[in-house]
C-alpha cells in the first residue's frame, strides 16, 4: 500500500483527477459543437428564427464548457513533464509528435474560429459564421482523433522498438497512429460524446416542457435529442461490443477484470453482481448468468475466457474498480437505449411532447452521458494498470524525481481550484438555462447586419446611441 506521500500514488491520483475532470468538458463540447453546426445549418436552410435562438442560448453554454476544457487541458499537456518526466523522456519520441499534431491540427483551429463563433455575429457573413461553427466542430473531432490515438497506443502499442535505457522509438508511424485498438476507441468515444450532448439537450428540453417554458424551442431540443437516442444509442452498444472484442484480443487481463473472472472457464458466466476480492482472488456474493460471457466474448457458448489467476499478482489491475465502473457504464448505456425506444413509442402515439413523466425521466437522464464517459474511461485506464504502456512499461517506473510533498500540494491546489470552478461554471450554465432562449432580445432582424462589408466600429455605435465616450 502506498504511503500518503508516495509520489507515484499521488501523481496517479492527480492525473486521474485532472483527466476525469477535464474529460467531462470535451465529452460535452465535441457533441455540442456538431449539434450547434446542425442547428445553425437548419437556421440557414429554413430561416426559422427558433433555430437561431436555440443556437444563441447553447453557444453560451458551449463557451463556458469549452473555456473549462481549455484551461484544464493546458494543465494536462504540462503534467506529462511535471509529474511523469521519466515517461516523457522514454516515450516522448512517440507520444510527443502525436500530441504535437493535436496542437497543430486542432487547437489553433478551434481557438481561432471560436472567436468568430462567439464574437463574430456582426463582423462576418452568415455563411462565414456557419463555416466557423463547422470548423470548430471538425476541430473537436480532430482533437479527439489524436488524443485517442496517443491513448490507444499506450493501450495497444505498435510500430515501435525498445532501444537502450528503456527508450521506446518509433519504427512505423502508420502502425503507431492506427494501432490495433484505435478505431474502436475513437468511434466509441465520439459516439459517447454525441450521446452525452444529446441527453443534456434532451434533459433541458424536457425541463422546459415540464415547466411549460419556451415550448416551441423545447420541442426542437427534445426532438433532436431523441433522434440521437433512438439511432445512436443502439449503435453505441454495437461499437462497445466491438471494442470489447478488441480488448479481449489485445488486453485479455482487462476483460477478465471487467467480467470478474478469476479462474479460466469454458463457457464463462456473466456476473451481474459480485464483490471482487483482490487478495482472496475470488468473488463474494456473485449472481451469474451461465455461459453468457463466453457467448458475448467468443460468440460460442463454450468459448474459453482466461481468468485473472492466469497472470501474476503484480500484473493484475485493481479488479473491483474495473468491474464496477464497467457495470455502471453498460447500465447507463442500456437506459439510454430504453429512453430512445420509449421516445419512439411516444412519438408514434403523438405524446412525446405532452407526456410529463417522460420529461421528468429525461431530466433525470441529463448527467447519464457524463457518468458513462467517466466510468468508461476508468474501465479502460485502470484496467491497463499496473502498466502505463501496456505490457511494456510500468506506471511506477515513469514518475518524475519530484518530492511527494510538492505533488501533494499541487494536487490539493487542483482539487480546490477545480471545485471552485465547477461551482462557478455550474452556476452560470444554470443561469443561462434559467433565462432560456426566448429572453434573447435580439430578433432575427438583428442578424441582417450579418452581411456587412465593414465591421461596425465603436465610433459608429457611439454616434448611433449618442452615448458619451468613456
Partner 1 sequence: MFSFESFLDLPLIWYALISTAVFLYILLDGFDLGVGILFPFAPSDRCRDRMMNSVAPFWDGNETWLVLGGGGLFAAFPLAYAILMSAFYIPIILMLLGLIFRGVAFEFRFKATGRSQRIWDFSFHLGSLTATFMQGIVLGTFVHGIAVEGRSFAGGPLDWLTPFSLMTGAALVSGYALLGATWTIMKTEGQTQAWARKSARYVMLFVALFMGLVSLTMPLMNADIKNLWFSLPNFYFLQPMPILSVLFFILLWRDLRGEEREYRPFLLTLGIFLMNYIGIGVSTWPWLVPFKITFREAAAVPASQSMMLLGTAFLLPIILAYTGYCFWVFRGKASHEHDAAY
Q: Under rule CB under 8 A, which residues in 370-429 are in contact with partner 1? A: 400-403, 405-406, 410, 413-414, 417, 421, 424-425, 428
Nearer to partner 1, 114 or 308 (CB): 114
Q: Which of 271, 285, 260, 298 is nearest to 379 (CA)?
A: 260
Q: Is the dihedral of CA 446, 451, 452, 455 positive or negative?
A: positive
> Partners of 277 in the beta sheet?
282
Nearer to partner 1, 378 or 432 (CB): 432
Q: How far is the CB of 122 from partner 1 (least distance, A)?
A: 7
Q: How far is the CB of 3 from partner 1 (least distance, A)?
A: 18
Binding mask 170-209 for partner 1 (x = CB under 8 A): xxxx------------------------------------
Which residues in 63-122 contact partner 1 (CB under 8 A)? 63-64, 67-68, 70-72, 74-75, 77-78, 80-82, 85-86, 88-89, 91-97, 99-105, 107-116, 118-122
Three-class secondary structure of residue 284 per DSSP: strand
Q: Which of 189, 93, 173, 100 is nearest to 140 (CA)?
A: 189
Q: How far is the CB of 173 from partner 1 (least distance, A)?
A: 6
Nearer to partner 1, 353 or 428 (CB): 428
Which residues in 3-32 contact partner 1 (CB under 8 A)? none
- Grid cell 471552485 is found at 420
* 166 lies in the binding site for partner 1 (CB under 8 A): no
- What is the spatial distance between Cα 122 and Cα 112, in angstroms, rounded to a whole number? 17
Nearer to partner 1, 112 or 282 (CB): 112
- What is the spatial distance between Cα 270 and Cα 261, in angstroms, rounded to a whole number? 9
Which residues in 123-142 contact partner 1 (CB under 8 A)? 123-124
Q: Which of 296, 308, 228 is nearest to 263 (CA)?
A: 308
Q: How far is the CB of 407 from partner 1 (least distance, A)?
A: 8
- # binding residues, partner 1 (CB under 8 A): 81
Q: How far is the CB of 26 from partner 1 (least distance, A)?
A: 15
Q: Tell me the CB-side half-sphere exposure of residue 262, using CA atoms within 13 A.
A: 16
Q: Tell me the CB-side half-sphere exposure of residue 22, using CA atoms within 13 A.
A: 19
Q: How far is the CB of 127 from partner 1 (least distance, A)?
A: 14
Q: Is the dihedral of CA 429, 435, 437, 440 positive or negative?
A: negative
Q: How far is the CB of 307 from partner 1 (least distance, A)?
A: 38
Nearer to partner 1, 266 or 412 (CB): 412
Residue 241 and residue 296 in contact, taking contact as beta carbons nearer than 8 Å: yes
> 49-82 vs 215-250: helix axis angle to the nearest 10?
30
Nearer to partner 1, 288 or 425 (CB): 425
Q: Tell me the CB-side half-sphere exposure of residue 30, using CA atoms within 13 A.
A: 27
Amino acid at each position: 500500500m502506498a504511503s500518503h506521500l508516495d509520489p507515484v500514488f499521488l501523481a496517479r491520483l492527480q492525473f486521474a483527477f485532472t483527466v476525469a475532470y477535464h474529460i467531462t468538458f470535451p465529452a460535452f463540447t465535441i457533441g455540442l459543437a456538431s449539434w450547434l453546426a446542425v442547428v445553425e445549418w437548419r437556421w440557414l436552410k429554413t430561416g426559422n428564427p427558433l433555430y437561431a435562438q436555440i443556437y444563441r442560448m447553447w453557444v453560451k453554454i458551449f463557451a463556458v464548457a469549452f473555456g473549462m476544457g481549455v484551461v484544464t487541458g493546458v494543465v494536462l499537456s504540462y503534467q506529462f513533464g511535471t509529474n511523469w518526466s521519466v515517461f516523457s523522456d522514454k516515450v516522448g519520441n512517440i507520444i510527443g509528435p502525436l500530441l504535437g499534431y493535436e496542437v497543430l491540427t486542432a487547437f489553433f483551429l478551434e481557438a481561432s474560429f471560436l472567436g468568430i463563433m462567439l464574437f463574430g455575429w456582426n463582423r462576418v457573413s452568415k455563411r462565414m459564421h456557419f463555416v466557423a461553427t463547422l470548423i470548430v466542430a471538425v476541430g473537436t473531432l480532430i482533437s479527439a482523433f489524436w488524443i485517442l490515438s496517443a491513448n490507444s497506443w499506450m493501450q495497444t502499442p505498435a510500430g515501435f522498438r525498445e532501444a537502450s535505457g528503456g527508450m521506446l522509438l518509433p519504427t512505423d508511424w502508420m502502425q503507431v497512429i492506427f494501432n490495433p485498438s484505435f478505431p474502436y476507441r475513437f468511434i466509441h468515444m465520439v459516439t459517447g460524446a454525441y450521446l452525452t450532448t444529446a441527453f443534456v439537450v434532451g434533459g433541458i428540453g424536457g425541463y422546459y416542457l415540464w415547466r411549460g417554458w419556451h415550448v416551441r424551442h423545447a420541442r426542437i431540443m427534445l426532438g433532436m435529442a431523441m433522434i440521437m437516442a433512438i439511432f445512436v444509442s443502439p449503435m453505441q452498444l454495437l461499437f462497445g461490443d466491438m471494442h470489447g472484442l478488441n480488448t479481449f484480443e489485445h488486453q485479455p487481463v482487462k476483460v477478465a477484470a471487467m467480467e470478474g473472472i478469476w479462474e479460466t472457464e469454458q463457457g464463462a458466466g456473466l456476473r451481474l453482481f459480485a464483490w471482487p476480492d483482490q487478495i482472496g482472488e475470488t468473488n463474494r456474493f456473485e449472481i451469474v448468468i451461465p455461459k453468457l460471457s463466453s457467448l458475448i466474448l467468443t460468440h460460442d457458448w463454450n468459448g474459453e475466457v482466461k481468468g485473472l489467476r492466469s497472470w501474476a499478482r503484480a500484473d493484475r489491475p485493481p479488479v473491483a474498480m474495473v468491474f464496477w465502473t464497467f457495470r455502471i457504464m453498460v447500465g447507463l448505456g442500456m437506459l439510454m437505449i430504453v429512453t430512445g425506444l420509449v421516445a419512439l413509442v411516444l412519438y408514434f402515439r403523438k405524446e412525446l411532447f405532452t407526456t410529463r413523466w417522460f420529461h421528468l425521466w429525461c431530466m433525470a437522464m441529463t448527467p447519464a452521458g457524463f457518468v458513462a464517459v467517466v466510468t468508461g474511461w476508468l474501465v479502460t485506464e485502470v484496467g491497463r494498470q499496473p502498466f502505463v504502456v501496456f505490457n511494456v512499461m510500468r506506471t511506477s517506473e515513469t514518475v518524475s524525481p519530484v518530492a511527494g510533498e510538492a505533488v501533494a500540494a499541487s494536487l490539493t491546489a487542483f482539487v480546490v481550484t477545480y471545485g471552485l470552478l465547477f461551482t462557478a461554471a455550474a452556476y452560470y450554465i444554470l443561469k443561462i438555462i434559467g433565462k432560456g432562449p426566448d429572453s434573447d432580445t435580439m430578433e432575427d432582424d438583428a442578424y441582417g447586419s450579418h452581411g456587412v462589408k465593414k465591421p461596425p466600429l465603436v465610433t459608429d455605435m457611439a454616434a448611433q446611441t449618442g452615448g458619451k465616450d468613456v
